[in-house]
Amino acid sequence: MTENLSALEQAAAQPLPTSDELAESWTHIPSVNPTPVEKREEIFGHLGFGSDFTDHMAHAIFEEGKGWHTKLIEPYGPLTLDPAASVLHYGQEIFEGLKAYRHDDGSVWTFRPGYNAARLNASARRLAIPELPAEDFIASIVGLVRADEDWVPSAPGSSLYLRPFVLATEPFLGVRAAHKYDYLCIASPSGAYFTGGFEGINVWVSPDYHRAGPGGTGAAKSGGNYASSLVPKLEAKEEGYDEVCFLDAATNKNIDELGGMNVFVVYEDGSVATPKLTGNILEGGTRGVILRLLRDKNVDVSEATIPLAELVADIESGKVSEVFACGTAAVVTPIARLAGEGFDVSINVGDVTKSIYDQVTAIQLGHEPDPYNWTYKISA
Ligand SMILES: Cc1ncc(COP(=O)(O)O)c(C=O)c1O
């Protein structure tokens, strides 16, 4: 390893206990009213994203002086929140997103859960939220996925999306860090992202809205960052774009990232670049995986400042051959059109993007060897 690993990548590389070691550490309260098999099969027949939820959820509570306690895998259901709960007023909340995959032999695996555990805690530190030990994070996932194992779909491209999150639940009106928090993890069966071909998306580069600014919370996965991306996204949708690309707030000149994905640029000479981590960008787990895979293939990869003007000129001249976005939901999405104030350029959906997609998904699904120990077995 020649390059310096980020703090998150270093934390993600720490060895984890096995799922068997963690499986019983959260107390399971089984649902007395689980979804009938026929209903689940019906849901599996039209899988979308984020609209159906499994029978259980993981749930723990943090109180000052007690730490994290009451660690349960309990029936899925509404929360009882005091109207004064500080999350409802000051937005003190963080979340994560990862997936469980069914392999061909029926076993269920997840991908780099240590990374998501480390990132949740990096977000926690920025939002003045108490950290959750990585072992608890992983135990909650193991307990939940084992309880709802039948909810892990097996259709090509499908997965069980996992959404861990922490919210400030202390009933208190006043701007200070809360003294009480709830951690939950919910699970949602999701379908293939690419249902037709490997088609590219149209991206609008926002000239006037920013997602995050210097010293802000852009590097944390916190609800407020996404709330502020909604108006630009709505406006772009109205003009026929699929996603918004944000520029850095300090200069309004350099590519930061999309509202929920990191960006990569592939050059005609084979080199690849992605915006460097400035503190405004969310450090994506998929971004880290792609950097590792490319570096290990001796591709010339850089984490760099990518000025928008230069990118557009390089697309127009043919120096840039592909541009893609990446994140847990889609893994990799080609960008076919990039437009903004004064420019509108088309980009080929090329082979490098597709081969990265194929390589990452092959490792996730156990179709290729996993020399990096990225896959984590949840159940046999
Ligand atoms: C703002 C933002 N950037 C990038 C990503 C990609 O991160 P990951 O690859 O860990 O899903 C996400 C998704 O979590 C995101 O919300």
* CB of 113 closer than 8 Å to CB of 141: yes
User: How many residues are there in the chain?
Assistant: 380
The pLDDT, as a whole number, for residue 192 is: 85
- Atom index in ligand 1 nearest the CA of residue 116 equals 10
Integer angstrom CA distances of residue 286 from 94, 106, 111, 192, 289:
19, 24, 10, 17, 5
- pLDDT tens by residue, 106-143: 999 999 999 999 999 999 999 999 999 999 999 999 99
Band (pLDDT 50/70/90 cuts) for residue 2 is very low
- pLDDT tens by residue, 14-43: 999 999 999 999 999 999 999 999 999 999
Q: What number does CATH give the domain 7-192?
A: 3.30.470.10
- pLDDT tens by residue, 210-244: 999 999 999 999 999 999 999 999 999 999 999 99
The CATH homologous superfamily to which domain 201-364 belongs is D-amino Acid Aminotransferase, subunit A, domain 2 (3.20.10.10)
Q: How far is the CA of 243 from the centre of ligand 1 (A)?
A: 13
Domain coordinates in residue numbering, the chain: 7-192, 201-364
Instruction: Give the closest residue to 192 by CA, choosing from 349, 354, 49, 352.
Output: 49
| Residue 193 pLDDT > 90 | no
Paired tokens of 11: 């934390």
| Residue 82 pLDDT > 60 | yes
Q: For atom 7 of ligand 1, which residue has the closest CA?
A: 284
Ligand 1 neighbour 229 (Cβ under 6 A): no
Band (pLDDT 50/70/90 cuts) for residue 6 is very high
Q: For atom 12 of ligand 1, which residue has the closest CA?
A: 260
* Cα–Cα distance for residue pair 332/334, rounded to 1 Å: 7
* CB of 231 closer than 8 Å to CB of 259: no
Residue to mutate (ligand 1; options 203, 217, 286; most atoms within 8 A of CB): 286
Ligand 1 neighbour 113 (Cβ under 6 A): no
Paired tokens of 211: 């997602």
| CA 73, chain centre distance (Å) | 22
Paired tokens of 69: 């306690």
- pLDDT tens by residue, 235-286: 999 999 999 999 999 999 999 999 999 999 999 999 999 999 999 999 999 9
- Atom index in ligand 1 nearest the CA of residue 115 equals 10
Residue to mutate (ligand 1; options 123, 262, 290, 331; most atoms within 8 A of CB): 262
Angular region, 184: left φ>0, alpha ψ -120 to 50, beta rest: beta
